[in-house]
């Protein structure tokens, strides 16, 4: 677990311990490297199952017409695209990402798809969100929280910009609950994924980091506790694909 901003001097980058400022720079390098083929690699690595995980997230979000939604670490816009349709012309969706390359890919993809008008793009840090208090009815962050340097700070920032009663949904790789899955999961993560990255993107190291970052991410119960401590209530989680992925949901008190 990361320490608070005031006393944190080092953090993890995969299995390495690095200075706090170094992690942000290195994570940026990973996503600059993979942005162009991010969607293709997601389909390849998950055998397309990531689309079902995201669909479940949208279903549990409760987003409806006229609401304001923040899709953090929104990348290439899978969630933002559907939210834009749900909120309609009276609502607004903000796709935010700290990485300019990912944001550029998402903007181009959604503009080409004709998703305009109620969708806005913002480059920003989840730990210091550039929005007023109580700005959003719903916040989602899919496969991005484990890349944040200080998870408690990011959760507190999300709580600040949510309206009272607003909900946060965190979709993230987690810890398998089926013991028999673990050896297969480890072999796939540490051997197959880097080979895929090298073959498709020409970058094995970025995908090795992604596998390591999953192992360093808090488990289901720990993340639920962090959400409680950040001011969210009625926190719960749903294990997907045997706990390989978990969806956490909480409401701002």
Residue 4 has pLDDT above 70, yes or no: no
Highest average pLDDT, of 59-73, 91-105, 168-182, comes from 59-73
% of the chain at pLDDT higher than 70 = 97
Query: What pLDDT sits at residue 87?
Result: 97
Read off the pLDDT band of 220 (50, 70, 90): very high
Residue 65 has pLDDT above 90, yes or no: yes
Distances (CA, A) of 198 to 9, 35, 49: 32, 14, 22
Distances (CA, A) of 131 to 94, 96, 125, 220, 235: 11, 11, 11, 28, 24
Read off the pLDDT band of 158 (50, 70, 90): very high
- Range 10-178+207-252 classified under CATH 3.30.365.10: no
Unique residue bearing structure tokens 């496969």: 143
β pairing state of 136-142 and 162-173: parallel
CA distance 159 to 214: 24
CA distance 66 to 46: 33
% of the chain at pLDDT higher than 90 = 62
Residue 110 has pLDDT above 50, yes or no: yes
């Amino acid at each position: 677990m990361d320490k608070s901003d005031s006393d944190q001097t080092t953090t993890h980058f995969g299995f390495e311990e690095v200075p706090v400022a170094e992690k942000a720079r290195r994570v940026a390098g990973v996503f600059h490297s993979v942005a162009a083929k991010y969607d293709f690699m997601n389909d390849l690595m998950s055998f397309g199952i990531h689309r079902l995980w995201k669909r479940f997230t949208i279903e549990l979000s409760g987003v409806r017409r006229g609401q304001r939604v923040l899709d953090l670490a929104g990348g290439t816009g899978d969630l933002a695209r559907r939210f834009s349709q749900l909120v309609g012309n009276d609502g607004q969706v903000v796709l935010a990402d700290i990485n300019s390359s990912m944001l550029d890919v998402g903007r181009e993809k959604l503009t080409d798809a004709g998703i305009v008008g109620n969708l806005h793009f913002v480059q920003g840090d989840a730990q210091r969100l550039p929005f007023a208090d109580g700005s959003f009815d719903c916040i989602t962050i899919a496969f991005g929280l484990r890349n944040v340097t200080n998870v408690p700070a990011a959760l507190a920032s999300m709580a600040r910009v949510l309206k009272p009663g607003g909900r946060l949904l965190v979709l993230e790789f987690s810890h398998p609950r089926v013991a028999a899955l673990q050896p297969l999961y480890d072999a796939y993560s540490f051997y197959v994924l880097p080979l895929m990255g090298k073959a498709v993107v020409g970058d094995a190291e970025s995908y090795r980091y992604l596998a390591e970052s999953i192992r360093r991410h808090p488990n289901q119960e720990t993340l639920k506790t962090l959400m409680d401590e950040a001011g969210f209530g009625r926190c719960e989680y749903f294990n997907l694909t045997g706990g390989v992925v978990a969806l956490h949901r909480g409401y701002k008190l």
